[in-house]
Chains A and B, each alone.
Chain A
Amino acid sequence: MSSRAPFTSHSSEPVRRAEVTIRLSEFEIPPMQDVLLVGKRAPIGPEAVRRMVDALTPEQYDIIYLDHEIFEAAVLKRSLLKFLPQEKFLPVILEEGMRVATENTVVKAQVNIVVQVNRAVDL
């Protein structure tokens, strides 16, 4: 009489495989886009952001330290501020940022500014 247990009757062992999926994409430099809003309790603070920005894109961004209920700092692309002065732009971006962010998050924002000009010239 055989002493083998019935569940060992399958002769083949299970096959173990690994599937590797690779997604390659270009690392954005700088990793932020036009604006970065740094939450008060975010994993990185303004000093870390400043060092990152200085290292990756020197002289292209301004860091504004804020006295705000959610955000501790805003990083603004300088070229944007040529289109719209900071005092006009910052309240808008903070107002919109507050709708989606908490003080634990860092939010990046892509901003398009279109300046419309109508001018008349004498013929």
Chain B
Amino acid sequence: MFSAGDIMHKNPVTIDPFESVGRAAALMNQFKIGGLPVVEGGRLVGIITSRDVRYSHPNRLVADAMSRNVVTVSPECSFWEAKETMESHGIERLVVVRDGRTVGIITKSRLYAEIGKHVDALTGLNRAEFLQHKAAELLQSGQEVTVIFLDLDNFGAIDKEFGHVIGDEILQQVGKILKSVIAEGLDYLCRYAGDEFAVVTVRPLEEAKQLTWRMIKALADASWPQGIKVTASAGVAGGRRSRVRGEPNGTHNVRDLINLASLASTKAKREKRPVVVAGWVELEEAG
């Protein structure tokens, strides 16, 4: 449901490398599209975009105007992975390939619109699905991950006493503070639900615990609207892949890991301790 195959334009219009640039332009115009995969004998050999068409003489062969280095993804690639690929290459479309054959194309606008559905409008942070997919992706790439689950203390009471507008302001500020504490490329933050935030990180458990303390402290030290005191309780759980084969995409086990961190945060709240570490859990190997 969150992979390239779900949102790609299936059976895209393609062109042969030995057709003319003029023909490519006509096809793009006819189908109102900005790029055509170039396919020879069923194999993807290049891509020609409206920019290439503008730059090249219409008599030219497509083979003489196309880009030969096509950035491709598999249908199983997640939205976020596709976004990273698109951004790192500075391109606006990705060709979706299975076994060397073109099966679809993803445009930047379609991808971003889809990702937008998984971004929390209030805080601008990704939603829970992102966390699950990021954790699964990191595990699949062989990395150990740690999940930090943060739950704001008595947020319901704050909402009731000061109103939802102030409550929303606080949630926005929490998002900003947590974002300022985490490190891009190491830690991935999301608003999990309501007053719950979560981070998946590739830091080892001990380091992740220190990060959790920094987040808790940053929230406690911040100044909040109307002098409200905002604190949070956190649970930390680490996961590593075992050699036992299990679920095909590992997502189920990632959910277990998130749940473990969530339960640890509940325990922290109950025992009035800022941070509870649930420890390590062995996850079944993906795929």
B and A form one assembly: yes
The chain A residues found within 8 Å of chain B, CB to CB, are 41-48, 51, 72, 104
Cβ of B63 under 8 Å from chain A: yes
- A46 in contact with B56 (CB, 8 Å): no
Chain B residues lying within 8 Å of A72, measured Cβ to Cβ, are 64
Q: What are 17 A-B contacts defined by CB distance under 8 Å?
A: A41-B55, A41-B56, A41-B57, A42-B57, A42-B60, A43-B59, A43-B60, A44-B57, A44-B61, A45-B60, A45-B61, A46-B64, A47-B61, A48-B60, A48-B64, A51-B18, A72-B64
Give the docked Cα–Cα distance between A46 and B60 (Å).
9
- B55 in contact with A47 (CB, 8 Å): no
Contact of A44 among B17, B18, B55, B60 (CB under 8 A): B60
Identity of the chain B residue whose Cβ is nearest the Cβ of A49 in the assembled complex: B64
**Given A47-B63, A48-B63, 18 additional A-B pairs, CB 8 A:** A41-B56, A41-B57, A42-B57, A42-B60, A43-B60, A44-B57, A44-B60, A45-B56, A45-B60, A45-B63, A45-B64, A46-B64, A47-B64, A48-B60, A48-B61, A51-B18, A72-B64, A104-B57
Chain A residues lying within 8 Å of B59, measured Cβ to Cβ, are 43-44
Q: Mark B1-36, 1 if CB is under 8 A from A, else 0.
A: 000000000000000011000000000000000000
Identity of the chain B residue whose Cβ is nearest the Cβ of A72 in the assembled complex: B64
Interface residues of chain B: helix, strand, loop or mixed (majority): loop
Cβ of B65 under 8 Å from chain A: yes
Chain B residues lying within 8 Å of A42, measured Cβ to Cβ, are 57, 60
Give the docked Cα–Cα distance between A48 and B57 (Å).
13
Identity of the chain B residue whose Cβ is nearest the Cβ of A48 in the assembled complex: B61
Question: Which residues in chain B, 143-166, are within 8 Å of chain A measured between CB atoms?
Answer: none
Number of A-B contacts (CB under 8 A): 32
Identity of the chain A residue whose Cβ is nearest the Cβ of B17 in the assembled complex: A47
The chain B residues found within 8 Å of chain A, CB to CB, are 17-18, 55-57, 59-61, 63-65
Identity of the chain B residue whose Cβ is nearest the Cβ of A47 in the assembled complex: B63
B45 CB to closest chain A CB (Å) equals 11
Give the docked Cα–Cα distance between A45 and B58 (Å).
11
Chain A residues lying within 8 Å of B55, measured Cβ to Cβ, are 41
Give the docked Cα–Cα distance between A42 and B56 (Å).
8
For the complex of A and B, list the 9 residue pairs with the smallest distance between their C-beta atoms, beginning with the closest.
A45-B64, A47-B63, A43-B59, A43-B57, A47-B64, A48-B61, A45-B60, A47-B61, A48-B64
Give the docked Cα–Cα distance between A72 and B56 (Å).
12
Chain A residues lying within 8 Å of B60, measured Cβ to Cβ, are 42-45, 48
Chain A residues lying within 8 Å of B57, measured Cβ to Cβ, are 41-44, 104
Give the docked Cα–Cα distance between A104 and B59 (Å).
12
B18, B57, B64 — most chain A CB neighbours (10 Å): B64
Chain B residues lying within 8 Å of A48, measured Cβ to Cβ, are 60-61, 63-64
Give the docked Cα–Cα distance between A47 and B21 (Å).
13
B170 CB to closest chain A CB (Å) equals 57
Give the docked Cα–Cα distance between A31 and B70 (Å).
34
A67 CB to closest chain B CB (Å) equals 14
B238 CB to closest chain A CB (Å) equals 50
Identity of the chain B residue whose Cβ is nearest the Cβ of A104 in the assembled complex: B57
Give the docked Cα–Cα distance between A114 and B155 (Å).
92
Give the docked Cα–Cα distance between A45 and B17 (Å).
12
Chain B residues lying within 8 Å of A44, measured Cβ to Cβ, are 57, 59-61, 64
A108 CB to closest chain B CB (Å) equals 17
Identity of the chain A residue whose Cβ is nearest the Cβ of B58 in the assembled complex: A43
Give the docked Cα–Cα distance between A46 and B226 (Å).
71
B17 CB to closest chain A CB (Å) equals 7
